């Protein structure tokens, strides 16, 4: 009985967490929300990229506990132009051998963790992509060689508890 109750509470917590992630972005409106309002609502971004066209992209990652990462594009005037959830199947499918760490970060956001394997000359980045089951978490992995280039991608299911 205790196990069932614990599993149910865990599941409710996960549902609530996913809702919280979406709720954070609800008030951010393209064409309306300003840079100052965005910063007041969400705080400092994890990283900022300046684009050649004068736009700026701010990253808000919910990793390592959440399963989303948002890129918010600001126009030259500092008004939100676009809000994108970038940790998606379509974007993960775009990652290919030879891409750099920066290219991967710009595509799907900050990883939940980075693990170095010095003997193999490899670093693996992991993103939590599914945590709906109370007993397991699913991660998307990107493997980089010693030069910071993608060698392969994969998925890993990690049992909890």
State pLDDT tens for residues 13-22.
333 344 456 5
Q: Which residues pair with 100 in a beta bridge?
A: 149
pTM: 0.83
Going 86 to 91 to 97 to 103, the CA torsion angle's sign is: negative
Q: Where are the alpha helices (DSSP H) in 27-152?
A: 35-42, 89-93, 101-108
Q: Pull the structure tokens for residue 17.
A: 């967490």
Domain limits of the chain?
2-85, 89-159
Domain 2-85: which CATH number of 3.40.50.1820, 3.40.190.10, 3.30.1450.10, 3.30.460.80: 3.30.1450.10
Q: ∠126-128-132 over CA atoms, to 5°?
A: 155
State pLDDT tens for residues 88-111.
999 999 999 999 999 999 999 999
The Cα–Cα gap between 155 and 153 comes to 7
């Amino acid at each position: 009985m205790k196990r069932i109750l614990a599993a149910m509470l865990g599941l409710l917590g996960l549902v609530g967490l996913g809702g919280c992630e979406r709720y954070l972005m609800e008030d951010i409106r393209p064409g309306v929300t300003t840079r100052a309002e965005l910063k007041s609502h969400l705080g400092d971004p994890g990283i900022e990229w300046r684009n050649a066209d004068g736009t700026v992209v701010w990253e808000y990652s919910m990793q390592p506990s959440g399963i989303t990462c948002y890129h918010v594009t600001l126009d030259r005037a500092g008004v939100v132009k676009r809000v994108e959830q970038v940790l998606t199947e379509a974007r993960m499918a775009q990652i290919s051998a030879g891409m750099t760490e920066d290219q991967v970060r710009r595509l799907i956001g900050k990883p939940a963790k980075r693990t170095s394997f010095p003997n193999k000359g490899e670093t693996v980045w992991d993103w939590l992509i599914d945590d709906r089951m109370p007993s397991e978490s699913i991660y998307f992995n990107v493997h980089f060689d010693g030069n910071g280039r993608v060698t392969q991608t994969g998925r890993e299911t990690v049992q909890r508890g």
